[in-house]
Amino acid sequence: MLYYFFDYIEKNFDLPGAGLFQYISFRAGAAAVLSLIITITFGQRLINYLRKKQVGEEIRDLGLEGQIQKKGTPTMGGLIIIAAILIPTLLMARLDNVYVILLIATTLWLGLIGFIDDYIKVFKKNKEGLAGRFKIIGQVTIGLIVGLTLFFNDSVVIREVKPATTASLQIMQPESGIRLEYRDVKSTKTTVPFIKNNEFDYGNILPWVGKNYTWIIYTLVVIVIITAVSNGANITDGIDGLAAGTSAIIGLTLAIFAYLSGRVDFSSYLNIMYIPNLGELVIFCTAFVGACLGFLWYNAYPAQVFMGDTGSLALGGIIGVLAFAVRKELLIPVLCGIFLIENISVIVQVSYFKYTKKKYGEGRRILLMSPLHHHYQKKNIHESKIVTRFWIVGILLAILSLAMLKLR
């Protein structure tokens, strides 16, 4: 909104400083600061309100150290995360951008599903919350919308740029002064990490089927990855500060990818896809990171509030959509390695337990408890140390992901 306001002011009144809002870097920085201010300023008010309404977490006794002391801690703190993402985005970003619209829709939709789940747990006193099948249906629905939009929307393109050899109506004059001609191409290409000539086209997965059915394959991949990352964030949200801190690291990395891919000079230098209109995502990403860091102000050990499914489902879904927007979804196993290992630890533990129960008559476990962070708690490692170590691993995975830009 402010972008349009100051654009109008600059064009009609030539107000000094109004032109700052034309710069993505300025609006991204402003979004991050505003997001932090919202979470830190209004976070305590939300906590007090949740306590007044007795919106407290029901804790199951799993025999973990310090677990019982968390009983009654306010949940649904994801509401402040969602507000701190959406308000700066609505104020600072261009709202006609298809990527921004998709991410706003994802945030609201998955936030709503998480809110319903938390509401059932807290107010209906049903520890199971929203049935798992309904969560999956909600995640599949937003995955379907995102996949179809990214495939069919005319604004979602990549731009092939080359030195201009003949006169063309499509000429750019970047800061370097080098004349370039470009061609916007509707494409399902994505990036394969750590491989030379690292572009892969979903249309080549089943060449005998034909290009007419590529949209089905692409949409299915979008659904699976968004659902997996959303559930991964949800599972990771088991100890104070883990999901919020990990999400902030991932969000910052995706912001860097969006900034580089959204600029013709950097994308040309790094030999990566130039994606028009992607720069606006940097504003959303910085608001996302600011919201996660601001939430840590109250969620770090010992937590004064939990984000609940309201926050965790939304954070994971946002990360999934961002990865597809910057065409780095195949990098998710590395960048979201914490979410992945948490998911795998649950799947392996449950599968092995069922297998051994069927074979031996009693269930056996590989880990002391799943997800993985609970395994380390069972080994009497303090949760703040577990979280710090997971953050360190997350930072290393983020650095490795960024190294993909040059390591091929």
Domain annotation covers residue 408: no
Amino acid symbol at 235: I
In a domain, residue 333? The reply is yes
Q: Is residue 88 part of a domain?
A: yes
Give domain status of residue 105, yes or no. yes
Residue 170 lies in domain: 2-403
Q: Is 172 left (phi over 0), alpha (psi -120 to 50) or beta?
A: beta
Q: What is the pLDDT along the chain (408 residues), one digit of tens a residue?
A: 788 887 778 778 877 777 788 889 999 999 999 999 999 999 999 999 888 877 766 666 566 766 677 777 888 999 999 999 999 999 999 999 999 999 999 999 999 999 999 999 888 888 888 998 999 999 999 999 999 999 999 999 998 766 555 444 444 444 445 556 778 888 899 998 888 778 888 988 877 776 788 999 999 999 999 999 999 999 999 899 999 999 999 999 999 999 999 998 888 888 888 999 999 999 999 999 999 999 999 999 999 999 999 999 999 999 999 999 999 999 999 999 999 999 999 999 999 999 999 989 888 999 999 899 999 999 999 999 999 999 999 999 999 999 988 876
Give the number of domains in the chain. Answer: 1
Torsion, Cα of 249, 254, 259, 264 (10° steps) = 140
In whole angstroms, how large is the CA radius of gyration of the chain?
Answer: 23
Is the overall model pTM greater than 0.85, yes or no? yes
Residue 393 belongs to a domain: yes
